[in-house]
A and B are shown apart, each in its own frame.
Chain A
Amino acid sequence: MNKNQITCEQAQILMMGMLDGELNAQQKKQVEEHLDRCANCAKTYQAFKKLKKETSDMKLKPLPEMYWDEYWQHVYNKIERGIAWILVSIGAIIILAYSVWQAMEQFFIDPMEPLSMKIGVGALVLGTIILFVSVLREKIMLRKDDKYRSIKR
């Protein structure tokens, strides 16, 4: 075999580049030469070419114009609400943490209580508040975006 000649398998893989216009001049020449001398690969190439044409001819079903008109507004609303949710979450965490501080102030300022206990209780309470706000937010958002509302049980 001439060193410029390619195998059937190489030719069939390169055919993809030929169909998609992604081959350089040398690769294109190699494939064309192979197709000239290999009837089997030439037949395979025709099948791929037909498939390529058929997929290219498939027309995407157009979406009614009103959906495109509203599209950006929906994305913008999501962005805006995302920022709002972050602010609401931060606000809720601060208010709840402050309320807990008010309720447990005596414990935290009591010099008899060990510092490690205060840190532990503080971390536990703050963690619980953040988890509570996060789960609550998720519940509200999931209910809003629930994809399974239409499922009848």
Chain B
Amino acid sequence: MITEKDAILACQAGKTEMYRTLVEKYKSRAYYTALMYTKNRDDALDLSQEAFYRAYRALNRFNPDKNFYTWFYKILRNVCLNFISRKKENVPISDGTYPGAVLSERESRPDEIFERNERSAAIENALDRLKETDREIIVLKEFDGMSYNEIAETLSIPLGSVMSRLYYARKKLLKELEYLNE
């Protein structure tokens, strides 16, 4: 069986086909992470694939002894955030500056991330109301399944801060849920 490190070394030696091992392993996590940002299936597919492409281009500079996904995640996050900020710049909605611009039906109705039930819808709404940094750490832990070590590496924060950041983020999430339930 090919290990992740073997696949990275093979890619660095120019064997593009070996990159498939990494893509197949992480495509699901990458797609759902992008979906959390974009709320749109097609965009999430395209952006996660774009992030894999950019990671491939930068792979020669990657140390194969390090964790691939935490490094890849930073690329994915940048791709998604750039996309969102570009979209915000280009699509002023009903603010009067661009009175003719309207979103198509596909753009205005976000795709569902979770199987729908009342509680998951409430949690998803509450998550959307959090600050980006708070939402991100919860998503990394709960939906990306990262360990504290991986979160610390991904967010470039000390390991000791992961627990406190998670505490404050979850506390805010609970507060938002209470607010939405009122």
Interface residues of A (CB under 8 A from B): 12-17, 20, 22, 47-48, 51-52, 54-61, 63, 67-68, 71-72, 74-76, 78-79, 82, 145, 147-148, 150-153
Contact A17 B174 (CB under 8 A): no
B75 CB–A CB distance under 8 Å? no
Instruction: Select one of B16, B57, B142, B147 contacting A55, CB under 8 A.
Output: B142
Contact B19 A79 (CB under 8 A): yes
Ordered nearest first, which 7 A-B pairs have the shortest CB separation? A78-B53, A150-B104, A59-B115, A55-B142, A75-B52, A16-B166, A58-B120
Contact B170 A71 (CB under 8 A): no
B-side interface residues, number (CB < 8 Å):
54
B31 CB–A CB distance under 8 Å? yes
| Bound Cα distance from A67 to B45, whole angstroms | 8
Residue of B nearest to A48 (CB): B170
Interface residues of B (CB under 8 A from A): 16, 19-20, 23-24, 27-28, 31-32, 41, 43, 45-46, 49-50, 52-53, 56-57, 83, 86-87, 90-91, 100-104, 106-107, 112-116, 119-120, 123-124, 138, 141-143, 147-148, 163-164, 166-167, 170, 173-174, 177
B37 to chain A, nearest CB (A): 13
A53 to chain B, nearest CB (A): 11
* B contact patch SS: helix
| Bound Cα distance from A16 to B138, whole angstroms | 11
Contact A74 B49 (CB under 8 A): yes
| Bound Cα distance from A69 to B144, whole angstroms | 22
Residue of A nearest to B106 (CB): A150
- A63-B41, A79-B19, A148-B90 are known contacts. Are A13 and B164 too (CB-CB below 8 A)? yes
| Bound Cα distance from A140 to B109, whole angstroms | 29
Residues from chain A with Cβ under 8 Å of B23 in the complex:
71-72, 75
Residues from chain A with Cβ under 8 Å of B112 in the complex:
61
Assuming A51-B177, A79-B57, A150-B107, what are 20 further A-B pairs, CB within 8 angstroms? Answer: A12-B167, A54-B123, A55-B138, A55-B142, A58-B114, A58-B142, A60-B113, A60-B115, A61-B114, A61-B115, A68-B27, A68-B28, A71-B23, A71-B49, A72-B23, A72-B27, A74-B45, A75-B52, A82-B53, A153-B102
| Bound Cα distance from A63 to B44, whole angstroms | 11
Instruction: Select one of A16, A17, A20, A151 contacting B104, CB under 8 A.
Output: A151
| Bound Cα distance from A145 to B107, whole angstroms | 15
- A67-B45, A82-B53, A148-B90 are known contacts. Are A153 and B101 too (CB-CB below 8 A)? yes
Residue of A nearest to B45 (CB): A67
- A71-B49, A72-B24, A151-B91 are known contacts. Are A54 and B170 too (CB-CB below 8 A)? no
Contact A76 B104 (CB under 8 A): no
Contact B163 A75 (CB under 8 A): no
B32 to chain A, nearest CB (A): 6
| Bound Cα distance from A72 to B166, whole angstroms | 34
| Bound Cα distance from A51 to B130, whole angstroms | 15
